[in-house]
Amino acid sequence: MQAADGALVVGDSHHDAATPDPFASQAVDQLILDEWRAATGRAAPPVLQRWTGTYARGPDGGLIEAPHSHVRLALITAGNGASTAFAFGEEVIADLFEETSPS
């Protein structure tokens, strides 16, 4: 992703653990930078910041509740919302309209 000022956000990795390590792995960061080089044919720009996050994780990866026939509460609980949001949203909307459509 590129910001208006030209800055780039490059790479993302996920590591599942009951007690996640609070530190980013230099080896994984290097793999991401190596992929940059392979994809662009250019050396990666300098890394200015690194971010390590922790994601809540539910047993099924997502939660869909129907507190009312015309309402859905939907939550991704696997740390992969950006990757799965459109498909997840499609399921939620399909469920909503299937339940609320006249029979």
Asked if pLDDT for residue 83 goes beyond 90, the answer is: no
Residue where the block lists tokens 């990666």: 44
pLDDT at 41: 96
pTM over 0.85: no
* Beta bridge partners of residue 68, listed in sequence order: 71
Report DSSP letters for 51-77, one per residue: --------TTSEEEEEEETTEEEEEE-
User: Tell me: the pLDDT tens digits for 13-70?
Assistant: 877 777 888 888 899 999 999 999 999 999 988 888 888 877 777 777 778 899 998 9
Asked whether the beta carbons of 55 and 86 are under 8 A apart, the reply is: no
Asked if pLDDT for residue 103 goes beyond 60, the answer is: no
End-to-end CA distance of the chain: give it in Å, rounded.
Answer: 45
Euclidean distance between CA atoms 103 and 99, whole angstroms: 9
pLDDT at 68: 92
